[in-house]
Structure 1
Amino acid sequence: MTETVFTYGAPGLKFGSGASAEIGHDLAASGARRVLLVTDPGVAATGHPTRIAEQVAAAGPEVTTYAEARVEPTDESLREAIGFARDTGPFDAIVAVGGGSAIDTAKAVNLLTTNPGELLDYVNPPVGGGRAPSEPLLPLVACPTTTGTGAESTTVCVLDVLEQHVKTGISHPRLRPTSAVVDPELTFSQPAMVTAAAGMDVLCHALESYTARWYADFPAKQPGERVPYCGANPIADLWAEKAMSLLSTAFRTAVHDGSDRDARQQMAMAATFAGLGFGNAGVHVPHANAYPIAGRVRDYRPEGYPDDEAIVPHGMAVSMTAPAAFGFTFEASPERHHRAARLLDPDATGDGPDVLPRVLSTLMRDIGLPSGLAEIGYGESDVDDLVAGTLQQQRLLATAPREPTAEDLAAVFRGSMANW
């Protein structure tokens, strides 16, 4: 028997220039008295977190700031943030100001300051125990400063587990922020490469949710068995299509002219819309591949990111295998792949499996991303290890419209060494 029900969830949303100035009013109205604000050093340097903290305090609540969230969180960095919150709490609410890293750090802090156990107890199997929270979480206000992750809309906290050299996540509906406050004014300080990488995360969120396995093709589940990623469905489709339409007109401009207000606003809206889509439908092969790509990086240091250690930003890691991955998934739904290609590029021609990969590769080249895995330090000798890392991401691969074998994944990685 197949599934007949799909689910949809979303945070409360406040969108527009100046929206971040209203966080204090909203928290005070909710009765919060002690608030933890979570951010990272780079975002803290912009002054936005300090301004927001001052505005919250002026409205009444006492604010404690944790400004040491790590870009691309690890189990170690999350434990440090959790320890800080446990030592300085209790709190009535949490505010995250930053990109997906700060928001995901706040999600982990929220989970582990309200529920028993340790971090790995809650990490998705087979890396962790897959435990579900037993207690309610605090209200979490997510205020993104990057146009990318959609973390303000989702039920997922992504992290690197250092000892296992793998990137994975914690996924549960209770992790979804209570409120998403999206203020495009906060994104103007994004460097070009950050805009490019984060924007590719937005694009892949939309594409992967749009091409995911249809919800009614899954086996039927009991209410308590349903997971946040339920597969492509009519509501998620609307968000994904609109996100792709916005990206088609704004993405290149936002990267090459970061001062263009209209492009920045469209990118912020696209990120939120894509998050509202994939946060319910799910993502699949490109995101599953991205985890080992980011987790096994050796020497790559992209422009616009902290240069004190090697890093492949999440959105960049996702994009590296996207062209080849969508070539692989094409046969599951040719019409959706063609529709997506023409939403992104109305002038795209052809009707074969190479149309969407060609549109993606052209866009990636235009916005200055690396040409493929070889440029960020990987080679043929890494393929087996990358495949092994991807196969650990069964939560994501379950949503793929075609079930990939190890050989299929190896072909995708080999085909992604150079996308042009």
Structure 2
Amino acid sequence: MSAPEGWVLGYLLNSLWQVPVIVAAGWIAARMARRIGPELEHRVWVIALLLQVVLPACRLRPGSLIHEIVGLILRGSVGDGGEVRVVVGAGVTSGLSMAWLSNEVLVVVVIYGCSVLYFAARLGWRMVRTWQMERQAKAVMLTGDALQRWERCGRAFGRTAPRVAESDAIGGPVTVGVRSDVMLVPPGFLENIATEDVDVVMAHEFAHMRRRDFLKNLMYEVLSLPVAYHPALWLTRARIAESREMVCDAMAAEAVAGSERYARSLLRLAALLVRGAPDKTLHAIGIFDANSFERRVMRLSEGRVEMRGARRFAMAAACGIVGLATCLSALGLRLEVPAPATAVVAQDAGPARLTIPVQKWDAVYKRPPVYPQEAKAKKDTLNGPVVLDIVVDEAGVPSDVRVKKGLRSDYDESALAAVKEWRWNPYLVNGRPVTVNTTVTVNYFLSK
């Protein structure tokens, strides 16, 4: 199994369980965030989506991070001018053979790659459909009262001169466009609805334009392609769409003088749209884009008082703690796929050994060697390497550390004392920890 195959397999295995865990944490945080407002709830779900994509690729362990911080602190005790550089050599495992199921792993990786390509192709097709719909739409020239309402709404949302066009490919008003915004409506839609409903439609679509929701939604879909196969991600995407519409509802309701009036207009518009929501194959953002109409109306009718001040800060902090705890748990329980190995037969009698690429297996804690203080004080210093042969047991602890190539006794003792305290993650072969033989090179250098 090659290194790329191992990385893909590790990403896939960890995404299988990490994505639902993040959804559960996102649901808890979103429930708390609702009392603050739809904007924070929407941000919670967007962060959840980003974590679902990024966390399966992260190899950092909380324990190793703490050790690295301690190492950085201890490294400051080396002294002025003294520098120690450490190089870990390639290692060998003994006692067990590695039986990689390369063909089976390759099949899994190929299937996963095909799924990513499928979702990417589907996204591309939807974008093509959207582009064709926009090109084929007929421009609408607003005049009179409608033009005044359009311009007034644009000024309220800080958007100038977006286009309006009619398309028979949609069942309700939608917003499209990356560089320039276009509001698309069904033929005759604006003429067949009440004047106050026109204000609601315009305000909602202008809210999407101000937030750049079309571009953001496209970015979310592209970023989520590596985990697009997972049903839990589909739930996250639905929650993002739902909370996004509630954010735009709140912005639009404020612009048209009240939530109650806005909610009544939504009900009338829903009754008029007999053809339903926009086609799901179209990558467009509209007033009925999310399948959450009932909850949106209920939220508008509740007239809930949002949290402010210290309570708002405390609730936001609680959401952050939930997210941090989830990240640390996901990283700490990460499933590691053993690095690929190349068989090398030992020269002496005994079982075959397997060479381990060092960059795939490194110490989680490295106590930095200290430049010999007595040598610095007497200015009797040496520059050069100390090469150590070490055996790391199944628990990741050095069980035997010996000098293979020394520099001088005080330098050798400094290197031995430090490396004996190093710790590794157990190296797994077929799911079982094995003993590893490797080398560590400590380079001593004293600047003049």
With normalisation by structure 2, the TM-score equals 0.21
Between Structure 1 and Structure 2, which shows a larger proportion of strand residues?
2
Q: Whose Rg is larger?
A: 2
